[in-house]
A and B are shown apart, each in its own frame.
Chain A
Amino acid sequence: MEQGLSIRKLLIANRGEIACRVIRAAKELGLETVQVVSEADTDSLAARMADEVKLIGPPHPAKSYLDAGAILSAARECGADAIHPGYGFLSESARFAEAVESAGLTFIGPLSDTIRLMGDKAAARTQARDAGVPTVPGSDGVIKDLDEALTLAEAIGFPVMIKASAGGGGRGIRVAKNSDEVCRMAPQASSEAKAAFGDNGIYIEKLIESARHIEVQVLGDGFNVVHFFDRECSLQRRRQKVWEEAPSAAISDTVRALLCASAVDLAKSVNYRGAGTVEYLYDEATGEFYFIEMNTRIQVEHPVTEMICGTDLVIGMIRVCAGQRLALTQDEIARKGHAIEVRLNAEDPANSFMPFPGIVTGLRVPKGDGIRFDHMLYDGYEIPPFYDSLLGKLIVWAPDRAQAITRLTYALDGLAIDGLPTTAPLYSALAACAEVQANAVHTGWMETWLEQNTDILTKQGEAAA
């Protein structure tokens, strides 16, 4: 085991590709690993990789991966002294982090108070503004009533977004184009937020049209914080990222320096511990960037940062949460080249992205310099229908963006997941698209492109089938 770590046995409270990724990092550190599984995951790749497997409940996430009590019991029974929550599930639950802390275990993430603060999107906005981070023009925290919402919306200008304070990740957002729509949507948004998140708080922000999504990776040890530069995730469908790059090719190094410094300022203002991502909207027309939210966990797209910085962020987050100080100073962190990640989902792009769980009847993984495939698959694996459709992520690195797109194209040609449709054809089509090659995109671009190019995907879907 690595010297100077306060933990020796790590329980992974997640599943799928991120569980496999965390197990790899834990093994690098010489830690013992425990994989908790639902009844649907006893034969998962993560279960096969881990030193120990603990069954925590039925397939439904509420009865297994979201059951904090079952996970803590499993940790106690097998003597685990740390819990890695991955992403999704309980990763940003302040209550879960607090329960882990109270049980005397190490949570591989920030302190529960930090998660609580950043999880309250209105409070996070205030925190960002106080740290000198630019925020989207909008309400000062949660709005009190409809009159305040109307006055504010008229002052900042339409269209405005009405957001749930307890939301995040693109959930609980409405767009109002005029006062009438504010009157109609604000009460709806509030009651829906109450139902979905147990909190009826809503806030208002100006809608920045044709914006890019750019985010900064940070790592803190509770005392100091460093950044690992930026990622751009403007290619989205239904507000979910599908293709991510590092660094953003849309910003100058001057803007990049300001952006990264502001992310570090925010993280330092809360004595951040662990890996985190500060997300921004970038308005290309004005060159301004605005804070959206901070995600207090490892993100799906972390590998593109690892590829350009030559670092292992999962190992990094385990170390700082297990009592070590940051190993690198900011001056020692450099970036090189360009990386792209695409998310392979068990969905049929030729059929409205219908989820399609099935059995993997053949798997061919592309290999070569600058090609990485983080996944949860093996030949004969039956994909359970109860969870997210993400199967894996194909990541490529090359000296520049154009070469990275070329490499992505042939890496996709070398990838075969037989037995079920995946979103791979979407990425081949995007890689061949002139606007993607020219990086002339924004967060709404891909949905419009999909509407205008249904035939491309249908043809590829047929060719694949």
Chain B
Amino acid sequence: MARHEIKSPIPGTFYRKPAPEEPPFVEIGDAVAEGDVVALVEVMKSFHPIRADAEGIVSGFPLEDGEPVAAGMTIVELE
């Protein structure tokens, strides 16, 4: 069970990487601090960084890279 869930405030397309050929922002097991960028959400052709709103260790990604996301959906789980 995740201790904290980072949610997307906006709907769009969820991306784990800053660009297709670059590595993901974070991987499972990585430590994140509050304010770290953990994902991108593309809404209407513009890209918005999603920042961690708590510190913790990344434990899961409920969505695949490139999947649609609704506003309020969890995109990164922390332990």
Contact = CB atoms under 8 A, between A and B. Distances in A.
Interface stretch (A79-87, A257-265, A384-392): A384-392
A355 interface: yes
Contacts of B46: 354-355
B10 A385 contact: yes
B43 A385 contact: yes
B68 A355 contact: no
A236 B33 CA distance: 40
Interface string B29-62: 0000000000000111110000000000000000
A57 to B, nearest CB: 12
B13 interface: yes
A347 B10 CA distance: 13
A389 B10 CA distance: 14
Mostly helix, strand, loop or mixed at chain A's interface? Answer: loop
Contact of B44 (A58, A59, A60, A387): A387
Nearest to A63: B66
B9 to A, nearest CB: 11
A222 interface: no
A357 interface: yes
Given A385-B43, A385-B44, A388-B44, A357 B11 contact: yes
A355 B43 contact: yes
Contact of A60 (B10, B11, B13, B43): B13
Contacts of B13: 59-60, 385-386
A274 B46 CA distance: 32
Contacts of B45: 355, 387-389
Interface in A380-406: 385-389
Contacts of B44: 346-347, 355, 357, 385-389
Interface size class of A (residues with CB under 8 A): 10 to 19
A417 to B, nearest CB: 15
Interface string B60-79: 00000010100000000000
A40 interface: yes
A60 B46 CA distance: 14
B66 A60 contact: yes
B36 to A, nearest CB: 22
A388 B44 CA distance: 5
Interface residues of B, number: 11
A59 B11 contact: no
A60 B66 CA distance: 8
Nearest to A60: B13
Nearest to A384: B11
A385 B11 contact: yes
A346 B66 CA distance: 22
Contacts of A347: 44
B65 to A, nearest CB: 11
A40 B43 contact: no
A386 B12 contact: yes
Interface in A27-62: 40, 58-60
Contacts of B66: 60
A148 to B, nearest CB: 30
Contacts of A385: 10-13, 43-44
B11 A40 contact: no
A59 B43 contact: no
B18 to A, nearest CB: 13
Contacts of A357: 11-12, 43-44
B51 to A, nearest CB: 16
A233 to B, nearest CB: 20
Nearest to B45: A388
A148 B45 CA distance: 35
B50 to A, nearest CB: 14
Interface in A127-166: none
Interface in B1-33: 10-13
Q: Which of B42, B44, B66, B68 has the most CB of A within 10 A?
A: B44
A388 B45 CA distance: 6
Interface string A58-75: 111000000000000000
Nearest to A346: B44
A357 B68 CA distance: 14
B8 to A, nearest CB: 10
Nearest to B20: A195
Interface string A355-389: 10100000000000000000000000000011111
A349 to B, nearest CB: 14
A145 to B, nearest CB: 26
Q: Which 8 A-B pairs have the closest CB atoms?
A: A355-B44, A385-B11, A389-B44, A385-B12, A385-B43, A355-B43, A59-B68, A355-B46
Interface of B: 10-13, 42-46, 66, 68
18 contacts: A40-B68, A59-B13, A60-B13, A60-B68, A347-B44, A355-B45, A355-B46, A357-B11, A357-B43, A357-B44, A385-B11, A385-B12, A385-B43, A385-B44, A386-B13, A386-B44, A388-B44, A388-B45
